[in-house]
């Protein structure tokens, strides 16, 4: 008698076995130590990043949708980040810079 095929519930993850050489294992361990993320989460992030580069066939700028809400759970995000993003990225603009604009 054949076993019925299990259907994964939403949110259930499937285990995957990956063989890494010494160099890749070292990279994974270093990333895990530096980021405090699990090795599994790092592999998932890498897979998503690579797929976004290689599998995207959308219009230019369409990938910006993936950035919406990315800072919602980040700690210590300034309340005025959207209004003063240039100040946070480049430092406060000098008076001489304001005249050039």
User: Total structural domains in the chain?
Assistant: 1
Plot region of 86 (φ>0 → left; ψ -120 to 50 → alpha; else → beta): alpha
Reported pTM: 0.47
Taking the C-alpha atoms of residue 70 and residue 95, their distance in angstroms, rounded to an integer, is 33
Instruction: Evaluate whether residue 84 is within a structural domain.
Output: no
Taking the C-alpha atoms of residue 41 and residue 43, their distance in angstroms, rounded to an integer, is 5
Q: Is residue 1 scored above 60 in pLDDT?
A: no
Instruction: Evaluate whether residue 51 is within a structural domain.
Output: yes
The tens digit of pLDDT for each residue in 41-99 reads: 999 999 988 887 778 676 777 777 777 777 877 788 888 888 888 888 888 744 444 43
> Count H helices, E strands: the chain?
4, 0
The tens digit of pLDDT for each residue in 8-55 reads: 556 778 899 999 999 999 999 999 999 988 999 999 999 988 887 778
> Which pLDDT score, from 0 to 100, does residue 4 have?
56
What is the span of the domain harbouring residue 28? 15-58
Instruction: Evaluate whether residue 94 is within a structural domain.
Output: no
Instruction: Evaluate whether residue 53 is within a structural domain.
Output: yes
Instruction: Evaluate whether residue 25 is within a structural domain.
Output: yes
> Which pLDDT score, from 0 to 100, does residue 32 have?
93
């Amino acid at each position: 008698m054949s076993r019925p095929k299990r259907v994964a519930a939403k949110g259930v993850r499937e285990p995957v076995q990956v063989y890494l050489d010494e160099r890749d294992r070292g990279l994974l361990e270093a990333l895990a130590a530096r980021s405090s993320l699990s090795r599994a989460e790092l592999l998932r992030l890498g897979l998503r990043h690579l797929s976004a580069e290689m599998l995207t066939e959308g219009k230019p700028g369409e990938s910006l949708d993936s950035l919406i809400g990315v800072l919602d759970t980040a700690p210590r995000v300034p309340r005025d980040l959207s209004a003063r993003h240039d100040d946070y990225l480049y430092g406060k603009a000098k008076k001489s810079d304001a005249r050039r604009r």
